[in-house]
Structure 1
Amino acid sequence: MSSLSDQSHLDLILCRVAGYLCESNLTKDEYGDSLFDVTGYPLTGDLPLLNRKIFRGKRVNIREHPYIVSVRRHNCHYLTGSLITKNLVITVARPIVGVPVQQLKIVVGENYSDRGTSLLTVILVVVHQDFNPFTLVADLAMIRFYEDITFKSSIKSISLITPNLQLSNKTAFVTGWGRCDLTGKELCLPRSSAMFPDELIDPMLRSISFTITSPNLYCDGYKNHGTEVRTGMLCTGSAREENPSSSCLAVPGAPLAVNAKLVGLMSWGFGCGYLHDLPLIYTSIQHYTIWIAQNVKLFRELTKDHVSELFEATKSFAILEWLESTRVIKPKHHDHGNNYKDLHPLEIDQTLSQLQGNLYDIRDFIKEENLFLKKKLMYQVIQKAQNKSRNYKNKLEENKIKFQKLRGRPFMNKSLLLSDTGIWNENVNEDSDY
């Protein structure tokens, strides 16, 4: 890439200071052939979504980042995720909210996003309960697939960053699959995609690195345009003004890793691929550590035997959809509504109902007889019963503690203090004879 003249560089800076809304006089030759779109910032208050572009990303082997997974939709690469257990992936929520689970698959251990010897079956998706599609607050989701994978050099889970660890001045890596570099100077094997028909997708895994700085003054660019970086979001990375030739990667779900620990998931931001890129915004893992840890604990209680019914139902429904869409002579319609008029809880529903967040499985995407509404009501009943049981246990524990404080007498009726009513009169003198 040719270097910028001092005057051109000054003009570029003045353009940004004026509010990012002016056009630059730089030619493509001065800034790289077909490198950037010369456009202004989106309308004031708009939330800039990621464009999946990659610039000067280094090709890497999956063994360097073995926690990277490809989330497929209709068997095409759709989203980048991170492996955190042998059957659990964490990623951003926005692209998968409302997507039927039977359309999703997971591929692990591959350098290329268009390859994979096996597709792992997604059976459960949990979206953070505070996720807001308009502000992208709590842009976080967990995907549970049925198969238990075996770890090896190209497939490993990644640990979470310590919640109170300071990140400033540490080297970070962001890795994922995105669009081909527009300069034409980077090797790319362009692929078309049913999910992104207007884009040339680069199937090769790429990574960039940078040093985290705090505070990052370039993050104020969002505030200047009425776009708020809210609690639970992490703004980090380089800005085009700071380094015109800096690499960038704007891939939804791409993990931000520091010292082989997961720090963030790429969520939104203005870049990469513009003359005035800003640092990108990640969902902060440190902020959501408790939510992740509590759900991981519950997911680990579920074995393949526990989720086998959901797996069979998901696979069967996917096969029926495929037959109905591909066969000339359509198969006999399977009326799920008549077969499942009375929705009964599965054995695992007691555990699943304890998960924090909005849970989706195949029952949420069978439209006949409003099964998803029946499931929602069923979970409300289960959760109400669990809360009642939990409150009873808490009251029982409180009364046990109160009993331990009493100077007991041989003739005292202990069962009164530990009765099902959970009632104890504190006004009774502990030394009085009943």
Structure 2
Amino acid sequence: MRRSARAACGALALVLALPASAVADESVIGGKPAQLSQSPWAVALASHDRFGAQRSGQFCGGVLVGHSTVVTAAHCLSKEVLGVPWQQVKDLRIVVGRDNLTGGGGQELKPAKIWVNPRYDRWTNEGDMAVLTLERPVPNRPIPIAGLRDAAYRPGGRATVYGWGDTTGAGRYATRLRSAHVNVLRDAICTRAYPGTADGTYRSRSMLCAGEPDGGRDACQGDSGGPLVVRGRLVGLVSWGTGCGQAGNPGVYTRASALLPAVAAHGAG
């Protein structure tokens, strides 16, 4: 779930989500269905024990950046989200190659190794990243991470956010992978929106700002750790924000270039 003022109740909201037959299948907020064939690097983090059998137990998103390496948000593996330390979640799985969480297909893989950024600051949300090594490589195509000076980070660029999270901001979770187009925004916009609020503090060196001036398209609870993509390259991980799709409160993402040292040190390729 995207960390926000409602993050503390996000895990409970997932457990109490509507039955699959009643769940809205509209988007991450204001988007459309996504084809897994075009986004094979989008994965789900799941635990039936913590979040039930519906929707494969999904509670966060992740991104395949190597055939054995997944990146996600550090707060997805926090006690605040899971209810217990992540080490105590015995059935933690990474769901690869499954767009419909109520169906079969794909693989549910155990993490062989988990690294959660020890410098993650839960007050500012800086350093919101984790690296998971799969128990075995998968054939799915990983997505490249945009480097520090990549033009994909330029403000005004069209980006796409992916996830299985809340489609309305009111606890209605998608069963199929969805995507929404947002614009990469100038750092100054997020600095004004989040100068140091109860939800966090925008830090341009490690965060990226994306959204729409009038709101309406955004990531939401359940999308955390999922990808923000520009021209086939990963530029961000869903991290935090105030509300979902609200005007004046754009989404904040972990800047993907900040992941590169962690992936090099803790990933498996």
Shared fold (TM-score greater than 0.5)?
yes
Q: Is the contact made by 2:124 and 2:202 (CA closer than 8 Å) also made in structure 1?
A: no
Are positions 1:255 and 2:227 aligned together?
Answer: yes
What's the CA shift for 1:60? Answer: 1.3
Match of 2:141 among 116, 141, 156: 156
Q: Are residues 273 and 288 of structure 1, via their aligned partners in 2, closer, same or farther at CA, if it must alter by over 3 Å?
A: closer
Q: Is the contact made by 1:267 and 1:281 (CA closer than 8 Å) also made in structure 2?
A: yes
Q: Is the contact made by 2:219 and 2:251 (CA closer than 8 Å) also made in structure 1?
A: no
Aligned to 1:282: 253
Q: Is the contact made by 1:49 and 1:269 (CA closer than 8 Å) also made in structure 2?
A: no
Aligned to 1:229: 202
What's the CA shift for 1:138? Answer: 0.9
CA distance in 1, matches of 2:236, 2:6: 17
CA distance in 1, matches of 2:158, 2:4: 27
Q: Are residues 231 and 205 of structure 1, via their aligned partners in 2, closer, same or farther at CA, if it must alter by over 3 Å?
A: same
Match of 1:138 among 120, 127, 133: 127
What's the CA shift for 1:284? Answer: 1.1
> May I ask how many residue pairs the two structures share in their alignment?
230
Aligned to 1:65: 39
CA distance in 1, matches of 2:245, 2:233: 28
CA distance in 1, matches of 2:45, 2:263: 19
Aligned CA RMSD, in angstroms, stands at 2.7
Aligned amino acid, residue 264 of structure 1: G
Specify the SS of the correspondent of 2:77. coil
Specify the SS of the correspondent of 1:288. helix
Q: Are residues 235 and 262 of structure 1, via their aligned partners in 2, closer, same or farther at CA, if it must alter by over 3 Å?
A: closer
Q: Could you list the runs of 5+ residues in structure 1 that have no partner in the other structure?
A: 1-45, 183-197, 301-434
CA distance in 2, matches of 1:261, 1:290: 17
CA distance in 1, matches of 2:183, 2:258: 20
CA distance in 2, matches of 1:148, 1:224: 41
Aligned amino acid, residue 293 of structure 1: A
Q: Are residues 136 and 220 of structure 1, via their aligned partners in 2, closer, same or farther at CA, if it must alter by over 3 Å?
A: same
Q: Is the contact made by 2:43 and 2:96 (CA closer than 8 Å) also made in structure 1?
A: yes
Specify the SS of the correspondent of 2:59. strand
Aligned amino acid, residue 248 of structure 1: D
Specify the SS of the correspondent of 1:94. helix
**Runs of 4+ displaced beyond 6 Å:** none
The 5-angstrom pairing of residues 58-97 of structure 1 reads: 58-74=32-48, 75-97=56-78
> Any idea what the Cα deviations from partners look like across 1:216-256, whole Å, max 9, x if unmatched?
425412117474213543242234xx325x32222211211
Aligned amino acid, residue 252 of structure 2: I
Q: Are residues 206 and 165 of structure 1, via their aligned partners in 2, closer, same or farther at CA, if it must alter by over 3 Å?
A: same
Aligned amino acid, residue 81 of structure 1: G
Q: Are residues 64 and 96 of structure 1, via their aligned partners in 2, closer, same or farther at CA, if it must alter by over 3 Å?
A: same
What's the CA shift for 1:262? Answer: 1.0
> Any idea what the Cα deviations from partners look like across 1:186-223, whole Å, max 9, x if unmatched?
xxxxxxxxxxxx93321111111123232442541211
> Any idea what the Cα deviations from partners look like across 1:91-133, whole Å, max 9, x if unmatched?
0011213213522111111111233343212222101131123
Match of 1:210 among 170, 173, 182: 182
Calculate the TM-score normalised by the size of structure 1: 0.48
Are positions 1:109 and 2:97 aligned together?
Answer: yes
Calculate the TM-score normalised by the size of structure 2: 0.75
- Structure having the higher Rg: 1
Q: Could you list the runs of 5+ residues in structure 2 that have no partner in the other structure?
A: 15-26, 49-55, 79-84
The structure in which a higher percent of residues are helix is 1
Q: Is the contact made by 2:28 and 2:163 (CA closer than 8 Å) also made in structure 1?
A: no
CA distance in 2, matches of 1:205, 1:88: 20
CA distance in 2, matches of 1:293, 1:143: 12
Q: Are residues 282 and 107 of structure 1, via their aligned partners in 2, closer, same or farther at CA, if it must alter by over 3 Å?
A: same
> Any idea what the Cα deviations from partners look like across 1:279-312, whole Å, max 9, x if unmatched?
111111213322322323xx35xxxxxxxxxxxx
Match of 1:127 among 109, 116, 124: 116
The 5-angstrom pairing of residues 33-432 of structure 1 reads: 48=5, 54-74=28-48, 75-97=56-78, 98-100=85-87, 102-117=90-105, 118-150=107-139, 155-166=140-151, 167-168=153-154, 169-181=156-168, 199-217=171-189, 219-223=191-195, 225=197, 227-230=200-203, 232-239=205-212, 242-243=213-214, 246-250=216-220, 251-274=223-246, 276-296=247-267, 299-300=268-269
CA distance in 2, matches of 1:248, 1:133: 21
CA distance in 2, matches of 1:54, 1:170: 19
Which protein has greater RCO, CA pairs closer than 8 Å, 6+ apart?
Answer: 2
Specify the SS of the correspondent of 2:194. helix
Q: Is the contact made by 2:34 and 2:178 (CA closer than 8 Å) also made in structure 1?
A: yes
Q: Is the contact made by 1:223 and 1:229 (CA closer than 8 Å) also made in structure 2?
A: yes
What's the CA shift for 1:49? Answer: 5.2
Q: Is the contact made by 1:271 and 1:277 (CA closer than 8 Å) also made in structure 2?
A: no
Q: Is the contact made by 2:125 and 2:201 (CA closer than 8 Å) also made in structure 1?
A: no
